[in-house]
Amino acid sequence: MSKARLSILFVAAAAAIAVAVWWLAGRHKSAGSLVLYGNVDLRQADLPFNASERVTEVLVQEGDHVKAGQVMARLDPTRMQPQVAKAEAEVAAQQEVVNRLHAGTRPEEVAQGRANVLSAEADGANARSQYDRLVELQRNSAGRAVSKQDIDSAKAALDVAQAKLAVSRKALDLQIAGPRKEDIAQAEAQLRSDEAQLALLRRQLADMELHAPINGVVRSRLVEPGEIASPQKAAFTLAITDPKWIRAYVSDPDLGAVREGLRATITTDAFASHPFEGWVGFISPTAEFTPKTVQTEELRSSLVYEVRVFVKDPGDQLRLGMPATIHLDRRSGVGGGASPNAAAGPNGAAGSNATAGPNAAASPNAGTAAATDPTNNAAAQ
């Protein structure tokens, strides 16, 4: 074989290898589709306890699927339970005080007040009679039968009886009027304060349990029974399985063919016979430029943009970092009847404009969840 023929064969083989490498690098395009390559990505949440206490139970393992609200671990509640019981007793006692003030004076107490007035009137009448008799006797005897001291004592007794009568009458008026509105308001305010303290203690007691804030898979178990939990230390790392997306990169020349809502088909090596449906949910507004930032005419084709293709995976088959191939039908419209604002987007489970963002973590009881949007370059590039 001549050297010329060998050279031609060598050049042809090199060209074939170059074409294959170019195709495997994700730059192959057909007439109606665009092929991208990326990795499965999802969000993760670090779940710490919202209290500092000793761990008594850990109820889940790595790899367990958990539902929102499921108890994952418990702390020792023996310090909090007596405080809650004490606060409940204080609330009950103050509630009775408020009830008594609202009920007002009992009829028996009013009757007692009227009886005291009658008794004071009788004492006053008797003291008046005693004083009048002594004054009359003194006048008739020209001061010889009664001393001046006796007259003064009788007058003092009369004054005391009249004062007691006035006191009894005022006490009866107060009993009939009932409690002051200011006293009632003060008691009600104290009751609200006690109830707020009880609510706080009950919340702290509830925080002895760590609940899953959202459906997911336990990725890391970071506490064991006997350890002291802390709000600054995560107890679990939870992988949030919905939404789930493929992180890929599209070159600058192909960017015009990609739009949010574009239908996609995703395949993986692990499930080659089972394609997944998806749609473009996010296109980065910022280009990533390599190898340097000098935008010469030759290097502009090196600009790439991050694209997130959200995938429907009800069976939770796709795993974090799994390589995937994306086929975008450039002739299709919005896939699956979902728009970028209605489908799962980069900022939440409900689209690119959804409420829950990459830094969001669900709770309700859930304990404190610090959500992270994993950007592992090894899995994402």
Q: In the chain, what percentage of residues exceed pLDDT 70?
A: 75
Whether pLDDT at 24 is above 60: no
Whether pLDDT at 22 is above 50: yes
pLDDT for the residue 294: 37
Closest CA to 253 of 293, 296, 295, 305: 305
pLDDT for the residue 92: 96
Q: Which of 21-30, 242-251, 292-301 has the highest mean pLDDT?
A: 242-251
pLDDT digits (tens, 9 = 90+) for 53-105: 999 999 999 989 999 999 999 999 999 999 999 999 999 999 999 998 888 88
pLDDT digits (tens, 9 = 90+) for 137-151: 877 777 677 778 877
Cα(323)–Cα(312) distance, integer angstroms: 16
User: What residue spans define the domains of the chain?
Assistant: 29-72+222-380, 85-200
Q: In the chain, what percentage of residues exceed pLDDT 90?
A: 29
pLDDT digits (tens, 9 = 90+) for 304-347: 888 899 998 888 888 888 899 888 876 655 544 444 333 444 34
Q: In sequence order, what DSSP letters do the residues of 175-207 get, joined into one string?
A: HHH-S-HHHHHHHHHHHHHHHHHHHHHHHHHHT
CA distances 31 to 34, 182, 324, 328, Å, are 8, 84, 21, 11
pLDDT band at 241 (very low <50, low <70, confident <90, very high): confident
pLDDT band at 379 (very low <50, low <70, confident <90, very high): very low
pLDDT for the residue 112: 86
Whether pLDDT at 31 is above 60: no
H or E stretch at 6: helix 3-22
Whether pLDDT at 174 is above 80: no
Residue 97 is encoded by which pair of tokens? 């005080």
Q: Indicate the average pLDDT of the chain.
A: 78
pLDDT band at 50 (very low <50, low <70, confident <90, very high): very high
Mean pLDDT of the 148-174 span:
85
Residue 198 is encoded by which pair of tokens? 């009880």
Q: Which of 81-95, 112-126, 170-184, 293-307 has the highest mean pLDDT?
A: 81-95
CATH of domain 85-200: 1.10.287.470
Mean pLDDT of the 151-163 span:
86
pLDDT for the residue 331: 64
Whether pLDDT at 360 is above 60: no
3-state helix, strand, coil in the chain (%, to 5): 40, 25, 35
Q: Which of 226-240, 290-304, 337-351 has the highest mean pLDDT?
A: 226-240
Backbone angles phi, psi at 148, to 5 degrees: -65, -30
pLDDT digits (tens, 9 = 90+) for 190-235: 999 999 999 999 999 999 999 999 999 999 999 999 999 999 999 9
Whether pLDDT at 122 is above 90: no
pLDDT band at 126 (very low <50, low <70, confident <90, very high): confident
Whether pLDDT at 116 is above 80: yes
pLDDT for the residue 341: 39
Query: Cβ neighbours of residue 145 under 8 Å, at least 6 residues apart?
Result: 137, 138
Name the CATH topology of 29-72+222-380.
Elongation Factor Tu (Ef-tu); domain 3 (2.40.30)
pLDDT for the residue 28: 45
Q: Judge residue 11's burial from the number of C-beta atoms within 10 Å of its C-beta, 0-12 exposed, 13-18 middle, 19 or more buried.
A: exposed
Mean pLDDT of the 294-305 span:
58
Cα(203)–Cα(318) distance, integer angstroms: 38
pLDDT for the residue 345: 42
pLDDT for the residue 291: 41
pLDDT digits (tens, 9 = 90+) for 263-279: 888 888 888 888 898 98
Least confident of 42-46, 222-226, 263-267, 355-359: 355-359
